[in-house]
Amino acid sequence: MWAGRVFRAALSGAPCGHRAQSALAQLRGILEEELEGIRGAGTWKSERVITSRQGPRIHVDGISGGPSTDTFAGPSWLSCCVRSPSSTSGILNFCANNYLGLSSHPEVIQAGLRALEEFGAGLSSVRFICGTQSIHKDLEAKIARFHQREDAILYPSCFDANAGLFEALLTPEDAVLSDELNHASIIDGIRLCKAHKYRYRHLDMADLEAKLQEAQKHRLRLVATDGAFSMDGDIAPLQEICCLASQYGALVFVDECHATGFLGATGRGTDELLGVMDQVTIINSTLGKALGGASGGYTTGPGSLVSLLRQRARPYLFSNSLPPAVVGCASKALDLLMESNAVIQSMAAKTQRFRSKMEAAGFTISGANHPICPVMLGDARLASCMADDMLKRGIFVIGFSYPVVPKGKARIRVQISAVHSEEDIDRCVEAFVEVGRLHGALP
């Protein structure tokens, strides 16, 4: 009590408002020092403002080039890959996750408008109170059918799906084994759970086996991996992972955000691509990339797991339900995908065209056979400056540097879309060669 009186007396000489201003000034100083360090390291990330819809050609604020005039030739699925011959204005966009070109597909847009008109702008509530509509249940059932799983649960994003899974499923009796280059959302989700944590070297099956041997003392063992790694464009060796999991009595979880819709014969993902759909227990993925490009994520797997997540997953219990327009767009995107898989072959050919031409020019492209094509440059400032000069030449790409990728491994990540033409790809390569020589990245 005496100490409290002394403390209040010490403070009485300075008005509360003055002390608050002093604390704010201290905070500003700390923040500015931190921000200046980011600028000095060449890792500052600027946001370019797009003033048109997403597509292969976009309009970027302050950059010459008219708005995108991309049009779709008809209502069929393949029409999304056909642009009007007049589509020559705007900036070529090579850094979106719009893998199938569905972000601006007219049928996807119309489905979103219908859902908006019928079900409203939003539910103003979480799912278990009064935030579940019939379209949410219909989309969850459609996702489960698509992945050939028992059930599915929607989240506001796949980041939320990853944040909700591990804490709800795993206890201190369990273990989770994670690839060291897994997406940040997987890493953060694993941090939230109380299970024993093992990290194995990227794609290193010998190290995974050693960790599985060490983890045999735990109740459940869950191997967690990205299906396709977003920064490097490489694909997890799921056949080997599933074989080891079977040998050591473990379960397999795969994040399919950069695979759903376009990898595998029918776009089911890396588990279909590698023939292990019946061996992967849990899949998390997104509606915000190939499946319409808006937002939303999901978990699909055993029905009992999905039921548990509805009871315990915090991002599900404490977040508003997905807006009806987003649900409508994603549902139509899935319908279009399941009508035809011809676009998958088109994407593979375009991806190979870009990779082979860039490697022939002298660039190092990470990964293999994936539309994520990281142009490895090493230096963060070089990646940023080259991306800026690419934009001046009408090509929208972004430099990636620490902390998004490890220090010394800066890159420009190029992403191929089904709606890019061969002429678009060739023009992008030509610009890279020109800018690469300008900055000394090529001889």
Residues designated as active site: 230, 258, 289
- Asked if 283 contacts 277 with a C-beta cutoff of 8 angstroms, the reply is no
Give CA torsion, residues 426, 397, 93, 331, to 10 deg: 120
